[in-house]
């Protein structure tokens, strides 16, 4: 039985680890040829080798997703190697923790470039190719942090909110061209972010993050990859301009404590 993405060509940015790597593997398993792009060429190569060892098709490129020339080179690699581009997964992003009055302009610009501008560039350069082909799917990694605020994460909150509304605007512009553009909004996912944000208290960070999710744990990268694969496939043919929340129930909660005397948990 053919996979959900059989015969298609996909680009995954930040594909060398975490959600990107999990999605690259899943895309390949579903029959897509995958271009794995990452700031770390070593990580990108490792995931490419893994995909090939499992019988999939993949090539990789070292690239900075905030660099327009790098995005164009990545798309050129897809076209030169596989002849088309059907799926663009704009997954690159970063966060830097600081209160607003302590956030430097350099830090603000860096977070915006890697998180929001990279998504703009991925859409900008993928759309003309997909219009010529008669359609395609673009998925952007946003976050529940783009739907509400976090303490000390203003630049990330602003960038991810931008990804969500950029997704909507791009979807409206391209719907008649049969290009579907959606974003996924993960909750706390068990990736390298725990190490980055938690530092030497990474395990404590994971426990704390897990506890705030009603399901009682952080999500796994593969669980986001499942959603991205669905959005890339024909199963999502009537979905565009959407933000799909995958957060273990975090945003379903008002914040009120679970105090109902007659209720049994």
CA distances 110 to 65, 136, 167, Å, are 12, 29, 20
Give 51-66 as a 3 state SS string: HHHCCCEEEEEECCCC
195: helix, strand or coil = helix
Task: Give me the pLDDT at residue 182, please.
Answer: 98
The arithmetic mean of pLDDT across residues 253-260, rounded, is 75
Q: Angle, nearest 10°, between helix axes 118-133 and 154-174?
A: 10
pLDDT by residue (tens digit) across 156-175? 999 999 999 999 999 999 99
For the cut 60, the answer to whether the pLDDT of residue 235 exceeds it is yes
Helix or strand (DSSP H, E) at 9? strand 9-13
204 or 74: which leads in pLDDT = 74
Domain extents in the chain: 9-248
For the cut 70, the answer to whether the pLDDT of residue 208 exceeds it is yes
The closest alpha carbon to 182, from 225, 138, 226, 135, belongs to 138
Indicate the range of 193-197, 217-221, 222-226 predicted with least confidence: 193-197
What is the DSSP code string of 197-236? HHGGGHHHHHHHHHHHSTTSS-B-HHHHHHHHHHHHSGGG
Task: Give me the pLDDT at residue 196, please.
Answer: 67
The arithmetic mean of pLDDT across residues 20-35, rounded, is 98
Predicted TM-score (pTM) of the model is 0.94
Task: Give me the pLDDT at residue 20, please.
Answer: 98
For 201-204, the CB contacts below 8 A with 24+ separation are none
Are 155 and 112 spatial neighbours (Cβ–Cβ below 8 Å)?
yes
CA distances 91 to 60, 184, 185, 204, Å, are 15, 10, 11, 26
Share of the chain above pLDDT 70, in %: 95
Q: Is 151 a catalytic residue?
A: no
Instruction: Please state, rounded to an integer, the average pLDDT across all residues of the chain.
Output: 94
CATH of 9-248, one of 3.40.190.290, 3.10.580.10, 3.40.50.720, 3.20.20.70: 3.40.50.720
CA distances 69 to 182, 190, 239, Å, are 24, 31, 30
**Residue tagged active-site, from 82, 125, 151, 156:** 156
Task: Give me the pLDDT at residue 131, please.
Answer: 98
For the cut 80, the answer to whether the pLDDT of residue 197 exceeds it is no
The arithmetic mean of pLDDT across residues 219-239, rounded, is 97
pLDDT by residue (tens digit) across 48-106? 999 999 999 999 999 999 999 999 999 999 999 999 999 999 999 999 999 999 999 99
């Amino acid at each position: 039985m053919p996979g959900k993405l059989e015969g298609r060509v996909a680009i995954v940015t930040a594909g060398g680890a975490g959600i990107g790597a999990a999605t690259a593997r899943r895309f390949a398993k579903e029959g897509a040829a995958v271009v794995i792009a990452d700031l770390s060429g070593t990580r990108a190569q490792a995931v490419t080798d893994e995909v090939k060892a499992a019988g999939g098709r993949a090539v990789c490129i070292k690239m900075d997703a905030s660099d327009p020339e790098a995005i164009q080179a990545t798309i050129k690699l897809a076209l030169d190697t596989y002849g088309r581009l059907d799926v663009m997964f704009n997954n690159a992003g970063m966060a830097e923790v600081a209160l607003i009055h302590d956030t430097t302009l350099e830090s603000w610009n860096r977070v915006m470039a890697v998180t929001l501008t990279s998504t703009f560039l991925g859409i900008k350069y993928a759309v003309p190719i997909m219009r010529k082909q008669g359609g395609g799917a673009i998925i952007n990694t946003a976050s529940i942090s783009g739907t509400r605020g976090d303490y000390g994460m203003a630049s990330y909150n602003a960038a991810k909110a931008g990804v969500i509304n950029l997704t909507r605007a791009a979807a409206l512009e391209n719907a008649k061209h049969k290009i579907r553009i959606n974003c996924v909004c993960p909750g706390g996912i068990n990736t390298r972010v725990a190490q980055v944000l938690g530092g030497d208290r990474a395990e404590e960070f994971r426990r704390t993050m897990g506890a705030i999710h009603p399901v009682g744990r952080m999500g796994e990268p593969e669980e986001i990859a499942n959603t991205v694969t669905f959005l890339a496939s024909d199963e999502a043919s009537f979905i565009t301009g959407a933000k799909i929340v995958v957060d273990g129930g975090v945003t379903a909660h008002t914040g009120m404590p679970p105090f109902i005397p007659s209720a049994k948990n």
